[in-house]
Chains A and B, each alone.
Chain A
Amino acid sequence: MQAAYIARRFGVFLLIVWLAATLNFFLPKISGQDPVRTKLLQQAALGGAVQSGMEEMVKEYNTRFGLDRPLLAQYGSYLYDTAHLDFNYSIANYPRTVRELIIEALPWTVGLLATTTLLSFTIGTLLGALLAWPRSPRWLRTLMPPLWALHAIPFFLFGLILIYLFAFQVQWLPMFGGYSPGAVQGFTWRFVSDVAMHSILPALSIILVSVGGWALAMRGMMVTTMGEDYVVFAEAEGLRATTVFLRYCVRNAILPQTTALALALGQILSGAVLVEVIFGFPGIGALLFQAIQENDQFLIQGIVFTVIVALGLATLVLDIVYPWLDPRISYRKLS
């Protein structure tokens, strides 16, 4: 049972990988032209030191993705390259490859997103659970309206406000970048604390905005769960209030909440891209912004592919963890 479940989920993951590659290949063609070739030719025409390399690239691109080749063959070449994680050179940063640039930026984004998502999910879920619990302190309730209001605005917009307040007005925190200019990168205390200082505002703008959403969702699940027969029976069994709360209510309400997390990852990432842009945080989002500014098609495609696959992977992990949370799942047909 378990194996079949995991196999099926892995199949979905492969489907997502294929989908990402396919989107990358076909979407640029919907306008009828080949924006990649256009950009390549433009860049090659600019000339400069890396001229010969660029011409090489154009030649190579033409033989493999030339208009004379059948679309299916081009598609095949593209899938082959992608399967080897070969996204070609960055057009704007030639001779650096797209893969290099992505590998450089990825840890920043993964670090920022993993921390903020885990924190906001945990805090929000806990708040929501407490909010639905009749015995929790009253002042919690007064905490919520501002968090719900925050939840309605986009991450980056709140980020702008934070920049203004804490970086511009009182200048407690740096407003831009992932580390101070000229800092020596490495695992030194100095650099790590520098990065931490630079991450506080971007992280806060994601956390403070998301917490309210998770709290709201969890409160809803808790209200539903607390009406369930097994909670009534648990109380009739004379279980301690904390047992009923944690092991019966929260434990069950967390299930739909986890599903919601898997579904929200894409949205969180979309929001984080913009946060990176306004904070100049040197992750995938800022790299993407730069690629868009320079119309660096290869880089854009590489990033889109990497991000979709990374999120697919995160979803896969959540899916595999899920039956461990909910023993019913591996037996039930997927529903």
Chain B
Amino acid sequence: MSSDGTLRTIIETRKVDKRFGTFHALKDVSATFYEGQVTAIVGPSGSGKSTFLRTLNRLETHDSGEIVIDGIVLNDNLKNLDAIRREVGMVFQSFNLFSHLSILRNVALAPMRVRKMSREAAESKALNLLERVGLKNQAAKYPVQLSGGQQQRVAIARALAMDPKVLLFDEPTSALDPEMVNEVLAVMRELAYSGITMLVVTHEMGFAREVADRIIFFDEGVILEDTTPESFFSNPDHDRAKAFLSQVRHGF
């Protein structure tokens, strides 16, 4: 949110459509996301949440419709794609840390290669970010030597190293043992309050309710609900959302 209280658009999708063969994964999805907003994306398995998130940095290409990120149109133009990927960071369910690089090098690699930072500058920046996620003392280790929760915090630091305007999270805690979920959520909570724009696909309803400004409920490739956490959790409009919530409340 800017100082005068108006919302600045950061991501705009218009009638985004995506098929995998005959399977219709996204059906004319339109949504606008504003700077500083934290959006939780929820919905049943296979509803297209990951696909939607992945079209936003072109890990999946959309078939039709338009995606505009910070004024840049996402299309086959490689210049645009490079610019967008510099502004959009992503955190994956399975961390995807570079297994052959130390923690420090994992975080420093992209600033060095993409932003052409010197090694010293990139590594000192990486150390600051690792300190922010509480892992400065692990900088010399390799990903396999860290717990899942620690690896995911490194992955967040790695995404932050590019100073993205938007962070996409695809089920960042789903691959973690229960006792490690909170350390990752704590880092995400701190980020949310720092004002970065976040889109978070999650099954952590407690987190969504507490931290998100907005909830988007996906079902069979369409956005069925797009509302505030209060109204989504207390009184959803659609039966599908009610069924989903009751299922979540009773555990999977």
Instruction: Note whether A and B form a binding pair.
Output: no
- Chain A residues within 8 Å of B, Cβ to Cβ: none
- Chain B residues within 8 Å of A, Cβ to Cβ: none
